Amino acid sequence: MKKRIAILPGDGIGPEVMQGAVRVLQAISDCFQHDFIFEEGLIGGAAIDECGNPLPDTTLDLCSKSDAILLGAVGGPKWEATSQTIRPEQGLLRIRKELGLFANLRPVCAYEPLIHASTLKKEVIEHVDLLIVRELTGGLYFGKPSERRGDNKELAVDTLVYNIQEIERVVDKAFQLARKRRKKLTSVDKANVLESSRMWREVVNRLSANYPDVQVEHMLVDSASMQLIYRPEQFDVIVTENLFGDILSDEASMITGSLGMLPSASLRSDAVGLYEPVHGSAPDIAGKNLANPLGMVLSVALMLKFSFGLDKEASIIEESVMKVLNDGFHTGDLHLQQGTRVSTTKMVNKIIDS
Ligand code: NAI
Ligand code: MG
330-352 average pLDDT score: 93
250 CA distance to ligand 2 centroid (A)?
Answer: 6
- List the CATH number of the domain containing 221: 3.40.718.10
Binding-site residue set for NAD(+): 76-89, 280-292
pLDDT value for 276: 97
Q: Is there an atom of ligand 1 within 6 Å of 260 CB?
A: yes
ipTM over 0.95: yes
Final residue before a domain boundary, out of 209, 227, 254: 254
- The yes-or-no verdict on residue 13 having pLDDT over 90 is yes
Instruction: Looking at the structure, tell me whether residues 276 and 341 fall in a common domain.
Output: yes
Residue 165 domain flag: yes
pLDDT confidence bin for 82, thresholds 50/70/90: low
- The yes-or-no verdict on residue 84 having pLDDT over 70 is no
Instruction: Looking at the structure, tell me whether residues 65 and 139 fall in a common domain.
Output: no
**Is the C-alpha dihedral spanning 229, 231, 235, 241 positive or negative?**
negative
Beta-carbon count within 10 A of 316 CB: 19
Instruction: Looking at the structure, tell me whether residues 271 and 212 fall in a common domain.
Output: no
**Is the C-alpha dihedral spanning 108, 13, 289, 335 positive or negative?**
negative
pLDDT confidence bin for 83, thresholds 50/70/90: low
CA distance 61 to 64: 5
pLDDT value for 47: 98
Final residue before a domain boundary, out of 254, 271, 298: 254
pLDDT value for 24: 98
Q: Identify the three-state secondary structure at position 217.
A: strand
Residue 30 domain flag: yes
Beta-carbon count within 10 A of 151 CB: 6
Q: Is there an atom of ligand 1 within 6 Å of 224 CB?
A: no
Residue 118 domain flag: no
CA distance 94 to 330: 34
pLDDT > 70: percent of the chain: 99
Count of the separate structural domains present in the chain:
2
- The yes-or-no verdict on residue 161 having pLDDT over 70 is yes
Q: Is there an atom of ligand 1 within 6 Å of 246 CB?
A: no
Ramachandran sector of residue 328 (left: φ over 0; alpha: ψ -120 to 50; beta: rest) = left
Instruction: Looking at the structure, tell me whether residues 160 and 248 fall in a common domain.
Output: yes
pLDDT value for 80: 87
Beta strands in the chain (DSSP E): 2-10, 35-40, 68-73, 103-109, 129-135, 147-149, 155-157, 184-189, 215-220, 237-240, 263-267, 273-277, 329-330, 340-341
Residue 115 domain flag: no
pLDDT value for 258: 76
In which domain, by residue range, is 205 found? 129-254
State the average pLDDT for the chain: 95
Residue 278 domain flag: yes
Residue 112 domain flag: no
Residue 164 domain flag: yes
- The yes-or-no verdict on residue 139 having pLDDT over 80 is yes
Residue 120 domain flag: no
Final residue before a domain boundary, out of 207, 223, 254: 254
pLDDT > 90: percent of the chain: 86
- The yes-or-no verdict on residue 119 having pLDDT over 80 is no
